[in-house]
């Protein structure tokens, strides 16, 4: 019976430790807030304002730029990876997919896919 109790205690410790690490990792990457993005294309740099709201690994928010107006998006954050998707704006619109990494709590970087019609790089800096 003692051996069974030792195994139960060891398994319980691993479960608690895993949950603690997952919670700490998630808290490390809370991206909620206002962000200044720079989208760098071969034709110049756009500077959209982005507002992120994070609930668990789910991201929602708004993307506002001079060229595209204000658009809602959905996304995810898993570990250091971030994905934001802006759906096509109308029948002739282009969906944008941002795939990047969390550099630190105040900085993001990555690539943007313009619906298979080219791409760009981006950086994001949390506004204070």
Full pLDDT tens readout for the chain, 128 residues: 566 676 656 555 555 444 544 444 444 589 999 999 999 999 999 999 999 999 999 999 999 998 888 999 999 999 999 999 998 777 667 889 999 999 999 999 999 999 888 899 999 999 98
Q: Class for domain 31-126, per CATH?
A: mainly beta
> 94 vs 30, 63, 70, 75, 87, CA distance in Å?
28, 14, 14, 17, 7
pTM of structure: 0.76
Q: 124: closest CA among 115, 114, 19, 111? A: 111
Check residue 89 and give its pLDDT: 76
């Amino acid at each position: 019976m003692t051996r069974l109790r030792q195994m139960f205690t060891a398994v319980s410790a691993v479960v608690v430790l895993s949950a603690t690490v997952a919670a700490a990792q998630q808290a490390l990457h809370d991206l909620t807030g206002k962000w200044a993005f720079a989208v760098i294309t071969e034709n110049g740099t756009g500077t959209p304002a982005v507002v992120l709201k994070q609930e668990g690994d789910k991201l929602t928010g708004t993307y506002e730029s001079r060229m595209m107006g204000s658009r809602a998006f959905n996304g995810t954050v898993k570990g250091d990876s971030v994905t934001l998707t802006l759906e096509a704006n109308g029948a002739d619109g282009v969906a944008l997919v941002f795939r990047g990494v969390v550099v630190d709590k105040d900085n993001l970087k990555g690539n943007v896919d313009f619906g298979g019609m080219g791409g760009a790089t981006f950086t994001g800096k949390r506004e204070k």
